[in-house]
């Protein structure tokens, strides 16, 4: 071995890590190299992943969540001047990308760690929509058109397995397990595409990338398993997720838009919304007689307190929906349907018309002054 091949260890910069799942770790003598005590650590960062002495992802996830929350703090400070669409893009570009890094590997994290990751995305959704903090998580994600991050990691794992099966990754990944080369001559068509599950004796191995992804793969539909290209595989996976947020929800800006979004999410300052979340005991309108439940429809269509402002609202939307009928007919036609259109828009109208419709509702919200700041 020539002098150039000698490995020169910098003892003062060197650290060591003992990995063990034992509850009581035996005492190990100090490690000394060239008369220097090597420092023992409990975790070490390698290729951007923090490995700890228990081989759990708690340290890594705490680290990335902290970075994400710091970035969200910056976005939070600018939320009043940034449109919602811009906040959503900032989240996807600067925050979610941190969570995506090596997510196929850390997906076998504990449910507590997984909940911490979901909390990052939840916070981003609340910042962008202006929703009240306790709004249901599923409703929030649907509003913004995002999937659970757990589902996102599963999609990434399946995509990676597709790449491994179809030799779209380096050879050392394609050849590391014989299950991809098994003889399937005697199998029927459905089983032909299935992969042989690997047996495991430990929970950690059972939940690891390859075993978990093979189980997920074998539960996919035949159409997905036999996808002929990576693009079509990804497209079909995305279709299965059924993400259907309307793009118009992200357009627009301002306080009234925030209230409009809260009405759509089912949690605003209206008494019925607060009642459903156990935030008040009274679900009735304070103004109207006869115990009228103050829900979105009551506020927009029926409440006697806002009759004058409603005339302006109905005149505005009449021209957009059906110019030929008068506003009394429009209101009595189907109050429930009308209220739904005012909040969610209509698929029969163009995006621009829906936005004009929303603008009329924004003006109604502002003039009614029901939601004081």
Binding site for Zn ion (CB under 5 A): 285, 287-288, 303
Residue 287 Cβ, how far from Zn ion at the closest point, in Å? 5
Residue 285 Cβ, how far from Zn ion at the closest point, in Å? 3
> Is residue 198 a contact partner of residue 179, using CB atoms and an 8 Å limit?
yes
Give whichever of 262 and 370 is closer to Zn ion, judged by the CB atom.
Answer: 370
Helix (H) or strand (E) holding 109: none
Please name the residues in contact with 67: beta carbons below 8 A apart, sequence gap of 6 or more. 98
Distance CA 124, CA 118 (A): 10
Residue 284 Cβ, how far from Zn ion at the closest point, in Å? 8
Distance CA 350, CA 335 (A): 22
Give whichever of 19 and 311 is closer to Zn ion, judged by the CB atom.
Answer: 311
Residue 361 Cβ, how far from Zn ion at the closest point, in Å? 17
How many helices (H) does the chain have, and how many strands (E)?
A: 20, 6
Give whichever of 126 and 303 is closer to Zn ion, judged by the CB atom.
Answer: 303
Helix (H) or strand (E) holding 158: helix 149-165
Give whichever of 286 and 324 is closer to Zn ion, judged by the CB atom.
Answer: 286
Give whichever of 245 and 280 is closer to Zn ion, judged by the CB atom.
Answer: 280
3-state secondary structure of 92: helix
Residue 303 Cβ, how far from Zn ion at the closest point, in Å? 3
Give whichever of 155 and 285 is closer to Zn ion, judged by the CB atom.
Answer: 285
Residue 129 Cβ, how far from Zn ion at the closest point, in Å? 26
Q: What is the DSSP string of 245-288?
A: --GGGGS--SHHHHHHHHHHHT-SSSHHHHHHTTS-S--B-SSS
């Amino acid at each position: 071995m020539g002098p150039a091949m000698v490995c020169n260890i910098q003892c003062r910069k060197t650290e060591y890590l003992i990995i063990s799942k034992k509850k009581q770790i035996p005492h190990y003598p100090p490690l000394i190299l060239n008369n220097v005590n090597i420092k023992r650590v409990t975790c070490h960062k390698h290729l951007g992943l923090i490995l700890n002495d228990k081989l759990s992802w708690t340290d890594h996830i705490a680290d990335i969540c902290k970075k994400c929350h710091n970035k969200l703090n910056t976005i939070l400070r600018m939320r009043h001047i940034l449109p919602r669409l811009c906040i959503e893009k900032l989240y996807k570009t600067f925050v979610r990308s941190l969570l995506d890094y090596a997510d196929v590997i850390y997906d076998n994290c504990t449910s507590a760690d997984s909940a911490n990751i979901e909390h990052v995305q939840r916070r981003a959704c609340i910042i962008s929509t202006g929703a009240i903090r306790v709004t249901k998580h599923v409703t929030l994600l649907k509003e913004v058109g995002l999937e659970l991050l757990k589902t996102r990691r599963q999609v990434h794992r399946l995509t990676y397995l597709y790449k491994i099966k179809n030799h779209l990754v380096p050879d050392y990944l394609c050849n590391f397990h014989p299950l991809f080369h098994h003889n399937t001559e005697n199998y029927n068509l459905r089983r032909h595409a299935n992969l042989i599950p690997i047996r495991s004796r430990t929970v950690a191995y059972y939940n690891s990338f390859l075993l978990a992804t093979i189980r997920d793969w074998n539960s996919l539909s035949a159409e997905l398993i036999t996808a002929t290209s990576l693009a079509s595989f990804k497209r079909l996976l995305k279709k299965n997720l059924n993400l259907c947020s309307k793009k118009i929800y992200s357009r627009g800006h301002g306080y009234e838009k925030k209230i409009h979004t809260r009405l759509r999410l089912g949690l605003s300052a209206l008494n019925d919304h607060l009642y459903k979340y156990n935030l008040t005991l009274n679900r009735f309108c304070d103004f109207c007689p006869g115990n009228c439940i103050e829900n979105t429809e009551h506020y927009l269509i029926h409440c006697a307190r806002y009759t004058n402002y409603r005339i302006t609202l109905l005149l505005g939307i009449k021209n957009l929906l059906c110019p030929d009928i008068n506003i009394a007919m429009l209101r009595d036609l189907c109050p429930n349907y009308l209220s739904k259109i005012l909040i969610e828009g209509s698929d029969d109208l163009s995006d621009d018309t829906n936005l004009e419709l929303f603008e009329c509702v924004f003006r109604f919200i502002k003039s009614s002054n029901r939601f004081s700041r």
